[in-house]
Amino acid sequence: MWELEDDAFLLMHLRMTGVLLLDPPPDAPYVRVRFVLDDGAHELRFCDPRRFGTGEIAVGTAARDAFFAARLGLEPLSGELTGAALRTMARGRHAPIKAFLLDQRRVAGVGNIYADEALFRARIHPLRPAGTLKRAQYDALAVAVRETLLAGLAAGGATIDDFRHADGVSGAFQNEFLVHRRRGEGCPVCGGEIVKFVAAGRGTYACEHCQPRPRGRRSRPRGRAAHA
């Protein structure tokens, strides 16, 4: 969120591959938008190979707040995200808990990496129907989401392909992943093999010893995939 002159706000979403770079080299690729800062000496550039990034202008704080209220649910770092709040929202929901976490209108700021890492910390299988967790599991998940996001922030975010800070520096959280992108490696808790499967339409990583798979949601036998 950028505060501009005259009570206007620029609300950006970098999406998958967008980066904002301050005074990058002149040959920086994929420049989509150039912002000239008001000192006239510096330029901020929005670079985005895949062009999924978005930017919208809101005029006035009421318009800004309405924009976010329509799109973002509980803010995990504000204290709003509690086990009780999760339990209330998830009541009667059959969608996998991972899909529930990824819905920004319920919990803000949890993407694919952070969902996997939080569910592992809370020892909850990503395919568990959202409304079926035990009370203690909602509590554990609320704590795990917060801890995961704080760990990600402390490491400067995760740079898998593109993400960089405005000064061009990459994040380091990818070096601290517990399960995400670690298929075939040993679980940091039990040593069992980390597996990859699809949940909520996304590549998902878990330790199915620490995060027991819900009944009736068995892995598909490997041989069949070849026919698909």
Distance CA 82, CA 76 (A): 8
- Segment interacting with Zn ion, rule: CB under 5 A, options 5-13, 83-91, 190-198, 217-225: 190-198
Interface stretch with Zn ion, choices 98-106, 132-140, 165-173, 186-194 (CB under 5 A): 186-194
Site residue total, Zn ion (CB under 5 A): 7
Smallest distance from Zn ion to CB 192, Å: 5
Among 146, 196, 209, 213, binds Zn ion (CB under 5 A): 209
Between 77 and 190, name the residue whose CB sits nearer to Zn ion.
190
Between 106 and 128, CB nearer to Zn ion: 128
Contact call for residue 192 and Zn ion (CB under 5 A): yes
Give the binding range for Zn ion (CB under 5 A) out of 19-27, 55-63, 91-99, 192-200. Answer: 192-200
Residue among 102, 107, 187, 199 that touches Zn ion (CB under 5 A): 187
Contact between 186 and Zn ion by CB under 5 A: the answer reads no
